[in-house]
Structure 1
Amino acid sequence: MDKRATKRTFKSGFVTIVGRPNVGKSTLLNHIVGQKVAIMSNKPQTTRNKITAVHTTEEGQIIFLDTPGIHKPKSKLGDYMVNVAINTLNEVDLILFVVDVTEERGPGEEFIIERLKHVKTPVFLVLNKIDKVHPEALLPIIDDYRQRFDFKQIIPISALEGNNTGALVQAIFDEMQEGPMYYPADQVTDHPERFIIAELIREKVLHLTREEVPHSIAVTVEEMKRGEDGRTVYIYAAIYAERDSQKGILIGKKGEMLKEIGRRARMDIERLLGDKVFLEIWIKVKKDWRNQERMLRNFGFYDEE
């Protein structure tokens, strides 16, 4: 027997995850990859950049693009976020359209479906949060979406609980063609450590603050260096707010809010790096930065031409 005939084909491909804000896209991505590469929050519009995450098995390699939630933009930053999400639809081998089964289909889903009608890429409808509804409630939801678009597959899951996510991953592999290993098997993201660290800090602000504050901040890692002992990483980061009042909220009474942001972020960063971390955070004010293209470029939201 020819041994080459029994050799397993290695598959690879690019998959984008789209959906309205707060439907669980980042939770799904982190669950599949097995660690946090995209920040999670119960607040909408958590993801701002196109996050590349890599899932590698013996069968193949899936490169995921987790995009900002598609929403009606209210600023230049919002315009950028929506354009990033829409532009990925023509760049990939498969689209995962994630919806929240606890909410009725609305204008946000219709906006996405209309754009899906203009691409040739196959689309899986992923019904998320099935742990929150009775199984019988899924049938009318499935029928409703089938009438709106010809999905290649419809797969119910719970990203938070991990229900049926294995079946989703296998369905993705089944759709993939033979291809190369684009990234080393142990790599889970193409973003540098500084980006992930800044996102972990921003996640803590999302968790601890309310109303406009979480969406009015950007985080940059200004300096990152290893100490002389070789075991401690010193990180100096800045949180940029739009108004002085937001700066006051972020610092908190007697600095307690900033201390808590730093404490929670440091714990996650130490898990990420596997080292002891010294983290110092400053709060800076850049008025109306979300509508200033120069500031958006400085914060890495626009690719350089």
Structure 2
Amino acid sequence: MGKIAFLFAGQGSQYPGMTKDLFESVPEVHDFYGVAEAIRPGTLTQMFSGSEDELRKTENTQPCLFLADLAGALALIRNGIKPDAVAGFSLGEVVALTASGILTKQDAFKLVCKRGKFMQKSAEAVTGSMFAVMRMDNDELKELCKEYEVYPVNFNCPGQTVVSGEKSRMEKFKEKLTELKARFVELPVGGAFHTPYMEGAAENLKKELKSGKIYNLNQPEIPLYANKTAEPYSNDEEEMISTISDQVKSSVKWEETLNNMARDGVDTFIECGPGKALSGFVKRTVEGAKIYNVYNMESLQKVIEELGKDA
């Protein structure tokens, strides 16, 4: 068997009740959820019994989904399955900071709480939306985005790119896609993420990380492939800070990330967190990859049965 990568889901995959059985069954998950609840009271109520609308609000989505993603990794590691590399889609990259050893779990959770608030503030300043566009030539799509002043931001896999922008422009853009008979899906997120509209959030994150009093950035123990570059994080602290903060306003080079992981010997991908979007992207990008998901006890057991003997 080749290398194993843990992948961490991003906003849009959240749902009420996510990972409740992992919380109840895995001691490491239960214990850290308690730590997180002490840092941000009300988080577990939002996760387990909050409404979809409440969970969709960025400042709530991010801490809740952080925990749901992390739960899968903690449960796998408890059972002897460890990653050789990690990557996270957008918000998931903050979870990957923990899995790679760059940040402690507590520091990463504190950071994601701030990140959610900063991005919520930027989202409220400019109402935005995001669409996943399928089966359109990337060059054609980029030209269309320029014409309508919206942004191609997440390059998910062959044949799927997410476009983000200010809502009224996105509505006109949607009309054009409909006219062209292009297939698209609106994403359940609360802002124009990964665009210049997130500049304020990026600057606030940079200031937060540079304060020197809150976060201790460590050297990565395993490669963390960055959304911004599709390559492993640098060991230089200044570059790490720029990569973490700029990510919110930069494109997510996910297809390239997956190809680079495969280039470096990864052949087994385990998506940690709710939903199966990242698994679908792997399937359409990396030929012959082994793909698994961990989002509850049943899915965890399947992975243990398949991989535990080789761990």
Q: TM-score, normalised by structure 2?
A: 0.27
Question: Which gives a bigger RCO, structure 1 or 2 (Cα 8 Å, sep 6+)?
Answer: 2
Between Structure 1 and Structure 2, the one with more helix by share is: 2
Q: TM-score, normalised by structure 1?
A: 0.27
